[in-house]
Structure 1
Amino acid sequence: MDNRQAMGSWLSGPRAAAEDMGVDFGYRGQQLGLPEHGSGSVARPGRRFVALLIDWALCMLIAYGLLSGGKANAASNWALLVFLVLSVLTVGTVGFTPGKRLLGLRVVAEGGGRLSLPRVLVRTVALMIVIPAAIWDRDGRGLHDRLARAVQVRI
């Protein structure tokens, strides 16, 4: 192995290096019994991130306009509460937030179906902490989804 090959495997990450050595990880969601492509497949991180940005912007707008009386400092504090309520109510009832719906995503339980209210609450609180959302497993699920035994899929 020359230096360029070693450097290339290091830069591309441990998964790519393992795949170069012959390890088969399968596709994202395969261990969960989900299809590889199309409806019901695991949602890609970029789409999930944009949905989160849309939801956060909506929460900031609500907090700034309705709850804080136009004070920017108070709006950011209220936005967290609005985000908690929005996420618990929407994911707990229909399975998606407004941002997820716009981008064609839904949050479902690992075995399919809706999440229970306690699992939605655990997922939302862990998402608000941010760190769990930044730690992913090989299926592309954040730690907040793993804790709630949930998966974000394409509609």
Structure 2
Amino acid sequence: MDNRQVLGSWLSGPRATAESMGIDFGYRGQRLGLPEEGPGSVAPLAKRVVAILVDWAMCLLIAYGLISREPATLSNWALAVFVVMATLTVGTLGMTPGKRLLRLRVVSVHGGRLTFPRAVLRTFLLALAIPPLVWDRDGRGLHDRFSGAVQVRV
């Protein structure tokens, strides 16, 4: 490795540097046995972000319309509505309304539906906000990793 590669490696990140050295990481979801593209493949980050924004906007509207119109408490009530909504919908249907709109689903890494207790754990970790911001090379946040879940395309 010459000096320019060493100096520039911090710009591209450790994955790009390792790949330039010949290490093959494969595609996202390959270690989980998921297809590279199409239905059943790992959901792209942009779609997951849009889905959670749709869910949050819907929870804000519900909290504003049914519970509180005070700006100081609106976000707290919206979070409570989000936790209840995400727990119930992911635990029963495998998707929130935002995920349904964007054709995404939360499934177990072992195949099939995510169990209700795992959906509760996943939602609790999602509400903490930090676990979804740290993800592995398959694109799963810590909340998905700890609950044994993966978000896939439908």
Superposed pair shares fold, TM > 0.5:
yes
Secondary structure at the counterpart of residue 32 of structure 1: coil
TM-score, length of structure 2 as denominator length: 0.96
Displacement of 1:74 in angstroms is: 2.1
Work out the CA distance in 1 between the residues paired with 2:34 and 2:7. 34
Residues matched between the structures, number: 154
Displacement of 1:5 in angstroms is: 3.2
RMSD: 1.1
Work out the CA distance in 1 between the residues paired with 2:53 and 2:104. 14
Q: What is the match of residue 18 of structure 2?
A: 18
Q: In the TM superposition, what whole-angstrom CA distance separates every residue of 1:34-75 from its partner, at most 9, and x where no partner exists?
A: 00001000011111011111101110110011111x222222
Higher mean C-alpha displacement, 47-56 vs 3-12: 3-12
Q: What is the match of residue 119 of structure 2?
A: 120
Identity of aligned residues (%): 66
Q: What is the match of residue 62 of structure 1?
A: 62
TM-score, length of structure 1 as denominator length: 0.95
Once the two structures are superposed, the pairs formed by residues 5-154 of structure 1 within 5 Å of their partners are 5-68=5-68, 70-154=69-153
Work out the CA distance in 2 between the residues paired with 1:11 and 1:61. 41
AA aligned to 2:153 is R
AA aligned to 1:36 is E
Secondary structure at the counterpart of residue 106 of structure 1: strand
5+ residue gaps in structure 2? none
Higher mean C-alpha displacement, 49-58 vs 4-13: 4-13
Q: In the TM superposition, what whole-angstrom CA distance separates every residue of 1:75-94 from its partner, at most 9, and x where no partner exists?
A: 21111110011001111111
5+ residue gaps in structure 1? none
Displacement of 1:2 in angstroms is: 4.6
Secondary structure at the counterpart of residue 37 of structure 2: coil
AA aligned to 2:135 is W
